[in-house]
Structure 1
Amino acid sequence: MPDKPEDSFASEMSDVKPLAPSNQADIKKNREETPGQLARRQAAVRHKLLDLNFLATDDHIELLKSNDILEYKKDGVQHGVYRKLRLGQYQIEARLDLHRKTVDEARREVFQFIKDCLKYGLRTVMVLHGKGDRNKQQEAIIKTYVNKWLPEFEEVLAFHSAQKQHGGTGAVYILLRKSDEEKQNNRERFGLR
């Protein structure tokens, strides 16, 4: 019959020597990234990008109706320029379609769309926000928020509901500020300082 389990374990461990104590921690970094680390890093980057988005959604705002007209013009925008925008006489350089988006999705998309348009020097763009005709109260939720968000951009000079052929009250024309580079090009082209 074998010895007690404790005796068997002691005999097996008799030639084992303890490790020498060390004052240094093992700081060798594991080079392989785990899926969890990757997911946390991506979430942190997304969160940081969302933090840059200053467009508010938590305010209580009175909802617009489907056929309400959006109109906004900052001081300094010439009447003729605003009139051409209102009549859809400028070439639309980019479009954003917000149909079937939630308010939060629309918020992110409008923010990124305006930033991208500014980055590429676009001046006249359009957002298709819809009319809200599908809901019973005929309240245009996304349209209401677009109307609230656009004036929050310093670079948005004016906007107006589109002409019928471009979506009518379900879309909005937007006039963006010229980039500094474009302003300088105009000065050089027209001999101004």
Structure 2
Amino acid sequence: MTSKDERLAFLEEMKDVRRIRRPNRAEVSALRELTPGHMERQKSAVETPVRDLNPLTSDMVEPLTAHDLLSWMRPGIQHGVFKKLRLGQYPIEARLDLHRMTVEQARREVFGFINDCVRYGLRSVIILHGKGERNPDGIAQLKSHLAKWLPELDSVLAFHSAQKHHGGTGAVYVMVRKSDGDKQNNREIHNRR
């Protein structure tokens, strides 16, 4: 088809099209009257601050570098269990990647992740925090905060920097406490003898 034929074909297709007479604008209605319900919701939204249930704090952390090891366990954890965790011998049931997160985002993610692990019965997980090698001051911010946060969570039994093939000092294995339901199931299974 030539451009003249194309133009004629276009005009033929458009012959029944009519111009819209009204302007193509959204109609904005007058302000609505505020009901007592609106007023009450506004009042409570202003007066009631949002309560942060996350116990993890962001102040006063010991600065760690890329090559510092993370290692901690609660009293009562058997040394053989901790050794298996340290050597990465437990299967990794879930992972959380904190790369490119701010400290505040990471704080929320770690809290939610550990709670989810307890809820779903995941016992051995890994958190990838990075080494912070690109930071001009050499301080691994997320790693430093994670070293403070994990012991603050009652659900965390132990943690240790990962083996090289899982990220080395840029990741940490975490052993999570059993949920109350899992503890009860174990009692029922082992007390039946």
Range class of TM-score, shorter chain: 0.7 to 0.9
Q: Give the corresponding residue for 1:19.
A: none
Alignment partners' CA distance in 1, 2:106 and 2:192: 40
- Post-superposition Cα deviations, 1:11-69, rounded to whole Å, max 9, x if no partner, equal xxxxxxxxxxxxxxx99667xx8xxx89x96x999933xx1011111x22231010100
Q: How many residues align?
A: 158
TM-score by length of 2: 0.73
Question: For residues 152-171 of structure 1, what are the structure 2 equivalents within 5 Å?
Answer: 152-171=152-171
Alignment partners' CA distance in 2, 1:106 and 1:188: 37
Cα separation, partners in 2 of 1:130 and 1:27, compared to 1, 3 Å: closer
SS at match of 1:116: helix
RMSD: 2.8
Q: Give the corresponding residue for 1:55.
A: 56
Alignment partners' CA distance in 2, 1:91 and 1:172: 13
Cα separation, partners in 2 of 1:83 and 1:46, compared to 1, 3 Å: farther
SS at match of 1:89: coil
Q: Give 1:118 deviation, angstroms.
A: 1.3
Q: Give the corresponding residue for 2:87.
A: 87
Q: Give the corresponding residue for 1:130.
A: 130
Question: For residues 90-105 of structure 1, what are the structure 2 equivalents within 5 Å?
Answer: 90-105=90-105
- Post-superposition Cα deviations, 1:91-135, rounded to whole Å, max 9, x if no partner, equal 111111000111111111111111111111211111100000111
Alignment partners' CA distance in 2, 1:133 and 1:66: 6
- Aligned-residue sequence identity (percent) comes to 56
Cα separation, partners in 2 of 1:62 and 1:164, compared to 1, 3 Å: same
Which aligned segments of 4 or more residues in structure 1 are displaced greater than 3 angstroms? Answer: 26-30, 43-48
* Rg larger in structure: 1
Alignment partners' CA distance in 2, 1:44 and 1:151: 34
Q: Give 1:192 deviation, angstroms.
A: 6.4
Q: Give the corresponding residue for 1:69.
A: 69
Alignment partners' CA distance in 1, 2:107 and 2:166: 22
Structure 2: 5+ residue stretches without partners: 1-32
